[in-house]
Structure 1
Amino acid sequence: MWFKHLIFYRFTQPFTLTADELEEKLTAKCFKPCGSQDISTYGWVPPLGRHGDMLTHSAGDFIIITARKEEKILPASVIRDALDEKIETIEQEQNRKVASKEKKLLKDDILMTLLPRAFTRHQTISAYIDRQEGWLIVDASSHNKAEELTSCLRDSIGSLPVINPPVKNAPSHFMTQWLSPKAVLPVPFALGDECELREPGDEGGQIKASKQELTAEEITGHLDAGKQVSKLALSWDDALTFVLGDDLVIRKLKFTEVIQDQLDAINAETAAEQFDADFSVMTLTLRKLLTDLINALGGEIDEASRGEYIEKKILEVSKKQQTAEETAQETA
């Protein structure tokens, strides 16, 4: 249950559904294993796994949900080899060339033939809603995986008005400043021993440092040469360690002994009680972390500018969806 990565979204409208109301809406998209002709399936499963059958679990203003994706494993090389063999057989037996349109139909037939015999793999991904602070937090290190969950959640409840955190300044600006030898990080943050530096531009070079004193001359020398910090290891309040990216994704999240000490003070007797204790401690801790992190990055844009920001993000999402639909049509 403990999240290892964080991609977090800001609700642009209050999330008003209760855990019971959300439970009812998620039921329509319960996870179902792949059928014989399914390439993949995606749906909701109980966050407590075998220890519960509810699709939601709540603690105060926090509600956790879990999705599962199952997909068939069909390597492209296997399909290609089967297709080449089929084409060769047709051309030899019928003494003719196979046209490109026919090749596509043959490929589809081969895919449908192989699917029932293909192995499957599955992965689960969790997220929780902080109704009080207006956050949706997904345990994912890539936006593609997070967007699969948010898309399924949007389909389940009808709408999901969320955007990326509307911070005033680029995270790389602050992270670069924090590596200055004379810099003082905002309390309660401290530098870790890992970073990634990148030159501006899509084709700029990059430097990765691990287990390194980040204020050493070899690091500051790259900063003086114009590189900017794209990833930075940090610790927070002696309770968490993580790597912050310039995309505002938190990776390699770890909870320290400080958190374990809090859990040791809770006498949970069942697996469900332990899950509830873990979830409560984790979410309350992360709520404080996100508040401190947003403040450290200069805060969110003011209400007067938020409308313009939201419109911009909605337009970006719309263009992305349109591009995906056009690509899918071309592929079909």
Structure 2
Amino acid sequence: MQTKIHSQYYHPLTFNFVKAYLITMRPYLFFVSGMTGIVGLAYTLPKNLISTISIITASFLSYGFGQALTDCFQTDTDSISSPYRPLTQGIVLKDHFLFVSIAGLIFCITVFVIHNPINLILGTAAGLGLATYTYFKRKFWAGPFYNAWIVAVLCIMAFLTGENSDVKNININFLLVLISVFSGYANFVLSGYFKDIEADKVTGYNTLPVIYGRRFAAYSSDMFALVMVSTGFVIMYLRINEIGSVSSIIPAIAFLSISLLIVFAAQLLLHKVKTDMEAHSAIALVVHSYILQLSGLALLQQSNLLVFLILFYIGFNLVMKFRPEKSQI
């Protein structure tokens, strides 16, 4: 028997509530924030194995808690574009989801703060950014940029947890990594808007494709993709000059090259999208390219991560197959 509050809402201490919250978290996209944290760690010196596991875990979960938090403020458009989501079905209380999301984000931020107190400032800023994202999503000029800076901050927070966790140790390679993270995630956000255009029109979300149409938005997406892949190959060039050899970074080159091919295919598909229901294939490829790109960047610095990153990518593909709504990413 399903236990609900007032015979309508699932009680927080029930399996059904947990299931509903997990659906809202989008576990298949944990790999996006997880990979963002991993690439940040790759450019520093992790303190120990336990530290590494804790940072990757916090990075991994941060997407889910952040997504659930922002969903609490977007039930108007989600009720049209994503009626499968629990918050739009009226089976859970928004206040309960807000509480769990904030508590989860506090946990994730605390993990980063334990390793470096400066992460309290960065984590708080990122948390406030998530809480205010919906306002900026309504502005065609802001949404992708606003969401992307939050993810870039996650990468910085992971970097600052290492032994050489000092802002002075941020070099040109890592700055380029941040640009790649920022542009790659901004592309994911912008391409993601293509699946919600009709709902966003009705509910007043003036996203770029709503205001200027799919064609202009697709070309804008191309620019983000171009910046992501080009910075990756610049980092590769700089790394080759540093180590004076190509042999040790062949796996990294392979990941970066595959990412390039996939994002090229994604952008071609995005230009062909005519309806919201057609967008998910292109968006999925954008996510694949982002994870592969950051995997390649991590391998440029830490080639010993190869087996782990292969398993990580396999895990991502497996979880993607079990998402509850195939037309949604």
Larger helix percent: 2
More strand by share: 1
TM-score when normalising by structure 2: 0.24
